């Protein structure tokens, strides 16, 4: 769907992006992860030509973007940014309707779509007539997302979409975001410096440093098979928590004791972390799980930890 | 003094003029503002796009802003002549800086993320400009237009110098004629106009963008309507055209006398003395109200029309001195009287010609003259008290002030400070009464008609005889103001109507009566 081939960008003597190549498949969410100044935002902005690359090619839907009309290209790509960039002189409704108006949709269609999105994004309907500065930060970010999604573009680019929010709001919006049907059909490239966020949302992560790609792979690959010292040390601070969150019950299925069929069982898709949270919050001694093939397992806290450790040793020696 | 008019009486008496001047003033202000917006807005947008140009363009607009308004109007005359065109251009230049600068600041002040969002959504450059940048820059932009409007209302008063009309006609006429009511009749409406427009624009700044859009559309229609007011009446036909100074317009021995004594009806514009002769020379005007000793008479080939009914009283020049100064500087009177009777009409015209046309400095002209008549003495370099000499704002007075200054320095130990260019009669005379200056050269006719303003009876009795006029002003000044008229210098710089020599012989007009008859026939 999106392919970058040896893309480079220089600012004077500084190389912002150096020979970057990757591919994003349809409906995949690729997260560009790195510290500030690593070139992740520059890479993202080259995809909708907010920045033009000095070298290399960017192919979107099999077409080199350099050969497309910039304005038409951009109307087909949703863009969400940290500073949101809502128009302060437009109401919420007008802000969301910008792209459809540019595309000359008829009034009724625009209005229906705006209402549909307001509902999906849990925006209060009375907020449509308000101006952006009358909304909370979280609501503004939802409007920003609605604006990007309104014309249902196949591709969505997101530059630190939750960066401007406080921690509590960020976590809750991220959860909603993950569950949003509308987003599951999108091919997404997202930029973040937040490791936890990257691991939670990414299908694959592209770890960058000083304009170079250090490693590109699934969260599991980054955790258990770091390609180099940089990739290893980058995650070190949060490694344990990330591992618990990334590994699911499904992954450690073989290492768990069998159980009888029970009605009260959790899906095997949950992470080890979520399972332990559940045990702690319900004060239960054991949890039951069921997988897709209708098999049942149960585990206590200790059994979970034991199975997890076995899994880790196994993947490392793989 | 019992005939003293109130301001209100003056304004209601002159209400026709007041109305037409106000309309001209509004027209001038807005037509120039419209042009300034049409030029300033795109320039502001341009430099917001290409920041490198901003230094140059803001610099140039800033420099233009610092050019004194009178000088700017002066520069315009050779290029654009007199009347509305140069006035509009000059006003436009003054309005440019605030409009360019505020457009620029308004646009570059917009949060860059908003612009990035607009780009990323696929808006074109013009869509970004009209839907995002201009609306968001609007409050700042309007503040610039507001500043420009207030500046323009003020500067537009100067348009009367170059026959473009406006409330300046009353203001400058009033200053020349020592008529406070006339000054206020121009100044108060001008100030009210500035306050009113400023207030209206302040209101629009508070509106949100949607309402503002409607207001803007409405007000631009309104603006065009207003400017039409100014443009339409100025499209007048052919025929002879006169240019009179604001002072001449309001005087019994000026326009009023021409109307009553001769019944002269001529299309008239008000114009400053400084540009009048040139305008006559370049055929922008046909008849002007000049001074009989003016050097430009000689320079521009103009001819005086004979005042066959004798409405212009004698204007013999003499220094007038505050009596307090005479006792403070005992030698002063004798020194000033050295010049008595030494300068005749033709000598004065020649001296004026040297400064006005040959562009010699008043100082050189004064010195050459004194050397020639044997009165020149090199300065003693004395360290006595300082005498302050005043002069009105035209060439002849500069030369006289220089001559007196040299005489005082050469013959006494006093030091001299010249305060040249004290505007019109009123400013000079007030300065003298209030001891800001010690003396200045005044004319008997001016003393009589502009300062003393006696009954018409007395005027008609004495104003045909130069000695009687001198005696009368001399006595009255000493009684009323404790100011002494010293001996006359010799020349008579009276008012005169003049035309181009060539035109005068072509249409065979040699006297004012001839002119009247010519006008009645055509």
* pLDDT digit string, tens, across residues A181-197: 888 889 999 999 989 88
B235 has pLDDT over 80:
no
Q: Across chain A, which distance is largest between two alpha carbons, in Å?
A: 67
- Indicate if A275 and A143 belong to the same structural domain: no
Q: How confident is the model at residue B345 (pLDDT cuts 50, 70, 90)?
A: confident
pLDDT at residue A101 above 80?
A: yes
Put simply, the answer to whether B122 touches A99 (Cβ < 8 Å) is yes
Asked if residue A105 is part of any domain, the answer here is: yes
Cα distance between residue B401 and residue B440, in whole Å: 7
Calpha distance B25→B91 (Å, rounded): 12
Domain-ending residue, one of A172, A202, A237 = A237
**A84/B119 touch (CB, cutoff 8 Å), yes or no:** no
Cβ of B114 within 8 Å of Cβ of A88? The answer is yes
Query: Which of B116, B121, B209 lies at the smallest CB-CB distance from A102?
Result: B121
Contact A81 B209 (CB under 8 A): no
Domain shared by A150 and A266, yes or no: no
CATH number at residue A53: 3.40.50.300
Measured between alpha carbons, how far is B165 from B303 in angstroms, rounded to an integer?
A: 26
Contacts of A74 in chain B (CB under 8 A): 119-122
Does some domain include residue A181? yes
Which residue in chain A is spatially nearest to B113 when comparing CA positions? A85
More confident residue, A249 or A164: A249
The token duo for A241 is 């928590």
Any idea what the CATH number is for the domain that residue A306 is in? Answer: 3.90.1280.20
Closest CB to A74: pick one of B114, B122, B132.
B122
**Rg (alpha carbons) of chain A, rounded to whole number:** 22
Residues A137 and A109 in one domain: yes
Instruction: Report d(CA B496, CA B516) in Å as an integer.
Output: 15
pLDDT at B441 over 90: yes
- The whole-number pLDDT of residue A317 equals 56
Distance CA A305, CA A275 (A): 11
> Is residue B421 predicted with pLDDT exceeding 80?
no
Contact B470, B488 (CB under 8 A): yes
Query: For position B1, what pLDDT does the model report?
Result: 37
Q: Is any Cβ of chain B less than 8 angstroms from the Cβ of A71?
A: yes
What is the model's pLDDT at position B237? 46
* Average pLDDT for A235-256: 86
Co-location of A39 and A165 in the same domain? yes
Short-list B88, B33, B45, CA closest to B198: B33
Is residue A144 a contact partner of residue A86, using CB atoms and an 8 Å limit? yes
Q: Is A85 on the interface with B (CB under 8 A)?
A: yes
Residue A255: domain span: 247-316
**Nearest-angstrom CA–CA distance, B136 and B118:** 13
Q: By the CB < 8 Å criterion, does B216 face chain A?
A: no
Q: Are residues A85 and A162 in the same domain?
A: yes
Q: What is the pLDDT of residue B231?
A: 60
A86 chain-B contacts, CB cut-off 8 A: 114, 117
Out of A71, A74, A89, name the one closest to residue B135 (CB). Answer: A89
* Residues A95 and A133 reside in one and the same domain: yes
Residue B156: φ, ψ to 5°: -60, -20
Question: Residues B292-337: pLDDT tens digits?
Answer: 888 888 888 888 888 888 788 888 999 999 999 999 999 999 999 9
Q: How confident is the model at residue B96 (pLDDT cuts 50, 70, 90)?
A: very high
Mean pLDDT to the nearest integer, B21-42: 90
Asked if residue A284 and residue A167 are part of one domain, the reply reads no
Query: Strand A296-299's sheet: what is its strand order?
Result: A266-267, A287-290, A296-299
Mutation to test the A interface, candidates B114, B118, B119, B122, most A Cβ within 10 Å? B122
- Residue A261's pLDDT band, with cuts at 50, 70 and 90, is low
- Is residue A242 assigned to a domain? no
Q: What is the CA radius of gyration of chain B?
A: 27
Once rounded to an integer, what is the mean pLDDT over residues B232-248? 69
Q: Which residues, other chains included, contact A297 with Cβ-Cβ below 8 Å and sequence gap of 6+?
A: A249, A253, A256, A257, A258, A259, A268, A288, A289, A290, A291
Alpha helices in B156-178 (DSSP H): 168-177
Q: Is the pLDDT of residue A310 over 50?
A: yes
Closest Cα in chain A, distance from residue B213 (Å): 12
Query: What domains can you pick out in chain B, each with its CATH number?
Result: 7-234 (1.10.3720.10), 241-311+497-521 (3.40.190.120), 317-493 (3.10.105.10)
The answer to whether the beta carbons of residues B479 and B275 sit under 8 Å apart is no
Q: Chain A contact for B111, CB < 8 A?
A: yes
Q: Is the dihedral of CA B179, B181, B184, B185 positive or negative?
A: negative
A148 in helix, strand or coil? helix
Contact state of B117 with A84 under an 8 Å Cβ cutoff? yes
B292 touches B413 (CB < 8 A): no
Locate the chain A residue with the closest alpha carbon to B115.
Answer: A85
Q: How many CB pairs under 8 A join A and B?
A: 58
My answer on whether A24 and A146 are in the same domain is: yes
> Which residues share a beta bridge with B418?
B389
**What residue in B sits closest to A96 (Cα-Cα)?**
B121
Q: Indicate the average pLDDT of chain A.
A: 88
Contacts of A22 (CB under 8 A, 6+ apart): A3, A4, A30, A206, A213, A216
Instruction: Answer whether residue B207 shows pLDDT above 80.
Output: no
The predicted structure's pLDDT at residue B228: 67
- Give the model's confidence band at B236: pLDDT under 50 very low, under 70 low, under 90 confident, else very high: very low
* pLDDT over 50 at B2, yes or no: no
A240 Cβ under 8 Å from any chain B Cβ: no
Q: Is residue A276 part of a domain?
A: yes
pLDDT number for residue A53 = 93
Q: Which residues contact A55 (CB under 8 A, 6 or more apart)?
A: A6, A7, A8, A19
Tell me what the mean pLDDT of segment B466-488 comes to: 92
Assess A88–B contact: CB distance below 8 Å, yes or no: yes
User: Are residue A285 and residue A170 in the same domain, yes or no?
Assistant: no
Q: Give the pLDDT score at B126.
A: 92
Per-residue confidence band for B191, with pLDDT thresholds at 50, 70 and 90: very high
Select from A101, A52, A96, A99 the least CA-distant residue to A77.
Answer: A99
Positive or negative: CA dihedral B494, B500, B502, B506: negative
What residues in A contact B132, CB-CB < 8 Å?
87
Give kind and range of the element (H or E) at residue A87.
none
Instruction: Indicate if A300 and A193 belong to the same structural domain.
Output: no
For residue A290, what is the enclosing H or E element? Answer: strand A287-290
Q: What is the DSSP string of B73-102?
A: HHHHHHHH-SSHHHHHHHHHHHHHHHHHHH
Mean pLDDT calculated for residue range A275-285: 84
On chain B, the residues whose CB falls within 8 A of the CB of A76 are 122
Share of chain B above pLDDT 90, in %: 38
Could you count the other beta carbons within 10 Å of the beta carbon of residue A34? 26
Contact yes or no for A52/A70 (Cβ under 8 A): no
- Flag whether pLDDT at B177 surpasses 80: no
Question: Would you give the distance in Å from CA B432 to the centre of its chain?
Answer: 22
Report pLDDT for B229: 62
- Given A219, A237, A255, the domain boundary residue is A237
Number of residues written out for chain A: 318
Structure tokens belonging to residue B386: 């300082």
Distance of CA A317 to the CA centre of its chain: 29
Q: What distance in Å separates the CA atoms of residue B112 and residue B510, rounded to the nearest whole number?
A: 73
CB B54 within 8 A of CB B254: no
Residue A189 region, left (φ>0) first, then alpha (ψ -120 to 50), else beta?
Answer: beta
Beta partners for B166? none
A98 in contact with chain B, both atoms CB, cutoff 8 A: yes
- Among candidates B217, B208, B48, which has minimal Cα distance to B125? B48
Helical segments of A103-136, H only: 107-120
The stretch A10-37 carries a mean pLDDT of 92
pLDDT over 90 at A206, yes or no = yes
Mean pLDDT across B169-185: 84
Considering only A123-132, A265-274, B320-329, which range has the smallest mean pLDDT?
A: A265-274
**Which residues of chain B neighbour A81 with C-beta distances below 8 Å?**
113, 116-117, 120
Total count of domains within chain A = 2
Find the CB nearest A74 among B120, B135, B136. B120
One domain for residues A190 and A272: no
Interface test with B, best of A50, A89, A189 (most B CBs within 10 A): A89
- Please indicate if any CB of chain B lies within 8 Å of the CB of A74: yes
Q: d(Cα B471, Cα B448) in Å, to the nearest integer?
A: 11
Distance from CA of B108 to the nearest CA of A (A): 16
pLDDT of residue A274 exceeding 60, the answer is yes
Q: What is the DSSP letter of A264?
A: S
Q: Does A13 lie in the same domain as A31? A: yes
């Amino acid at each position: 769907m999106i392919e970058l081939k040896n893309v480079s960008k220089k600012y004077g003597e500084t190389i912002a992006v150096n020979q970057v190549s990757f591919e994003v498949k349809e409906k995949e969410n690729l997260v560009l992860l790195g510290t500030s100044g690593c070139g992740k935002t520059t890479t993202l902005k080259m995809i909708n030509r907010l920045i033009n690359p000095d070298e290399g090619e960017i192919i979107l839907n099999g077409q080199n973007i350099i050969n497309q009309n910039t304005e038409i290209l951009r109307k087909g790509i949703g863009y969400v940014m940290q500073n949101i960039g809502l128009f302060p002189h437009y109401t919420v409704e007008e802000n969301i309707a910008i792209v459809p108006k540019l595309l000359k949709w008829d009034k009724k269609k625009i209005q229906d779509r705006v209402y549909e999105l307001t509902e999906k994004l849990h925006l209060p309907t009375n907020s449509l007539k308000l101006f952006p500065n009358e909304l909370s930060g979280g609501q503004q970010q939802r409007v920003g997302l609605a604006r990007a999604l309104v014309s249902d573009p196949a591709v969505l680019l997101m530059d630190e979409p939750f960066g401007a929010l406080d921690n509590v709001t960020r976590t809750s919006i991220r959860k909603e975001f993950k569950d949003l049907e509308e987003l599951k059909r999108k091919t997404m490239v997202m930029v973040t410096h937040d490791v936890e966020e990257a691991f939670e949302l990414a299908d694959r992560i592209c770890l960058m440093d000083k304009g170079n790609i250090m490693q590109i792979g699934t969260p599991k690959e980054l955790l258990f098979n770091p390609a180099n010292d940089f990739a290893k040390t980058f995650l070190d601070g949060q490694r344990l928590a990330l591992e618990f969150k990334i590994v699911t019950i499904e992954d450690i299925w073989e290492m768990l004791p069998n159980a009888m069929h029970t009605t009260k069982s959790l899906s095997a898709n949950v992470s080890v972390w979520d399972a332990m949270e559940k045990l702690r919050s319900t004060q239960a001694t054991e949890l039951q799980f069921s997988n897709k093939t209708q098999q049942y397992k149960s585990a206590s806290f200790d059994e979970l930890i034991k199975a997890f450790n076995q899994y880790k040793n196994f993947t490392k020696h793989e | 003094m019992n005939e003293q008019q109130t301001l209100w009486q003056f304004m209601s008496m002159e209400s026709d003029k007041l109305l037409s001047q106000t309309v001209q003033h509004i027209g001038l202000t807005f037509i120039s503002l419209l042009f300034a917006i049409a030029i300033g807005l795109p320039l502001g947008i341009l430099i917001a796009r290409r920041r490198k140009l901003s230094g140059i363009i803001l610099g140039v607009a800033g420099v233009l802003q610092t050019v004194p308004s009178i000088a700017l109007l002066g520069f315009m005359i050779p290029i654009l002549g007199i009347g509305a065109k140069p006035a509009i251009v000059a006003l436009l230049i003054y309005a440019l800086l605030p409009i360019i600068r505020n457009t620029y600041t308004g646009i570059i002040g917009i949060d860059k993320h908003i612009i990035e969002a607009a780009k990323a959504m696929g808006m074109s450059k013009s869509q970004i400009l009209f839907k995002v940048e201009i609306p968001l820059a609007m409050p700042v932009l309007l503040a610039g237009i507001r500043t420009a409007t207030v500046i323009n209302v003020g500067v537009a008063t100067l348009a009367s110098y170059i026959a473009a009309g406006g409330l300046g006609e009353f203001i400058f006429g009033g200053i020349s004629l020592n008529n406070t009511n006339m000054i206020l009749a121009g100044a108060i409406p001008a100030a009210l106009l500035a306050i009113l427009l400023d207030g209206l624009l302040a209101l629009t700044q508070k509106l949100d963008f949607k309402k503002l859009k409607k207001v803007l559309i409405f007000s631009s229609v309104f603006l065009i309507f207003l400017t039409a007011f100014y443009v339409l009446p100025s499209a007048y036909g052919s025929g002879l055209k006169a240019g009179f100074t604001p002072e001449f317009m309001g005087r019994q021995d000026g326009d009023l006398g021409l109307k009553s004594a001769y019944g002269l009806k001529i299309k008239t514009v008000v114009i400053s003395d400084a540009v009048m002769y040139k305008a006559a020379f370049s055929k922008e005007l046909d008849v002007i109200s000049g001074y009989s000793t003016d050097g430009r008479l000689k320079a521009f080939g103009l001819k005086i029309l004979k005042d066959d009914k004798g409405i212009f009283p004698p204007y013999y020049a003499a220094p007038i001195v505050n009596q307090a100064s005479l006792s403070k500087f005992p030698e002063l009177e004798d020194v000033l009287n050295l010049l008595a009777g030494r300068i005749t009409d033709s000598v004065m015209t020649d001296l004026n010609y040297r400064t006005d046309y040959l562009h010699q400095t008043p100082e050189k002209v004064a010195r050459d003259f004194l050397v020639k008549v044997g009165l020149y003495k090199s300065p003693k370099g004395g360290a006595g008290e300082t005498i302050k000499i005043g002069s009105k704002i035209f060439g002849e007075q500069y030369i006289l002030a220089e001559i007196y200054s040299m005489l005082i320095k050469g013959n006494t130990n006093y030091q001299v400070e010249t305060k040249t260019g004290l505007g019109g009669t009123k400013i000079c005379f007030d300065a003298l009464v209030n001891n800001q200056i010690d003396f200045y050269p005044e004319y008997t006719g001016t003393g009589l008609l502009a300062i003393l303003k006696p009954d018409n009876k007395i005027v008609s009795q004495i104003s045909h005889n130069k000695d009687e006029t001198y005696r009368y002003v001399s006595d009255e000044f000493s009684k009323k103001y404790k100011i002494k008229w010293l001996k006359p210098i010799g020349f008579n710089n009276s008012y005169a109507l003049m035309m181009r020599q060539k035109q005068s012989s072509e249409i065979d007009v040699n006297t004012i009566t001839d002119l009247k008859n010519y006008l009645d026939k055509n």
